[in-house]
Amino acid sequence: MTRRIVVDTDTGIDDAHTLLYLAGRPDAEIVAVTSVYGNCEEPDAARNIGYVTRLLGLDVPIARGAARPLAGVASIAGHVHGKDGLGDLGYDRPMPEVASETAAELLVRLAAEHPGELDLLALGPLTNLAAALRLDPDLFTRYRSVVLMGGSGPYAPPGTLLMIDANVNNDPEAARAVFAAPRHRLVMVGVNVTGTTILDERAIAALRASPRATFATEILDAYLDFYQNEWGRRIIPLHDPLAAGILLDPGFATGWIDGPVNVRTDGFLSRARLMRTHDGLPPAFPYEAAPDTRVITSVDAPRFVADFVGVLTR
């Protein structure tokens, strides 16, 4: 079965990889793409959508979305993805032709026109989704599924540290609205699992050896420059691509828990967490009731990485 997917993206390096991956999967059809700030400023995200879709020969609606969170100021990850979001390699990125409606309006209209037929894949801060929920509070019940790259899973075992989840941390208010909304199915693919899905030296060499993966490997270096400080190796996690992979093939997920997700802050970072400890117990504090979210807790990382490399080199 072909999944028809609307992609909401802050088009940085792993977002571009995700669009390449979706376009290469025979069971995926990208039907529209919306831009949001995050990995880069929103105008750059829109330009990058245009660049990648032209590269792929895709003629799909593009709608521009939020340039800042619902409250506060945006934290732009130029130090990770390059100022332009694609590694500052000087690509010619004119602003593409965009829809007259906003990203939020497009998300609402497509769901109303095709109820139960489309999947929504959110790869950036959740500001556009929250804005769309203000227009249609039942929006998520009209999508076949909503899959988002964000969140931190259940509470980790004591002494365990997690990567920062920039997507939720960039707009906690929007994330709260998303996790509280009625839905048909909402799937959270968080840093607890994306951080384990590593494109290692061998996989990167396979990409570099393929003429079909030229663009994918050109934009890798800025990302590798950042992540070498995490592990001392020039390797990267496949954050956004894993969310797309699980949308298309739920079998990539080997463990999950259905339960309420809250957005909590420690005064420094905001995280979306399943309200369960690592051993399945409720947390030691009161929390807000919320509809069940499917929270991915483990994945078959080798199988997914092999599929990702195989798709991009075919």
pLDDT of 177 over the 90 cut: yes
Q: What is the mean pLDDT of residues 129-146?
A: 98
pLDDT of 1 over the 90 cut: no
Q: What is the mean pLDDT of residues 82-102?
A: 98
pLDDT per residue over 218-236, tens digit each?
999 999 999 999 999 999 9
pLDDT of 153 over the 90 cut: yes
Q: Is the full-model pTM beyond 0.95?
A: yes
pLDDT of 91 over the 90 cut: yes
**Residue 269, pLDDT score:** 94
Spatial neighbors of 34 by CB under 8 A, at least 6 apart, are 6, 7, 8, 9, 62, 63, 64, 65, 103, 106, 107, 128
CATH of the domain at 57: 3.90.245.10
pLDDT of 162 over the 90 cut: no
pLDDT per residue over 232-267, tens digit each?
999 999 999 999 999 999 999 999 999 999 999 999
Question: CA 68 from chain center: how many Å?
Answer: 17
Total domains, the chain: 1
pLDDT of 161 over the 90 cut: no
pLDDT of 168 over the 90 cut: yes
Domain residues for the domain of 48 are 3-313
Q: ∠ CA(269), CA(102), CA(99), 5° rounding? A: 135
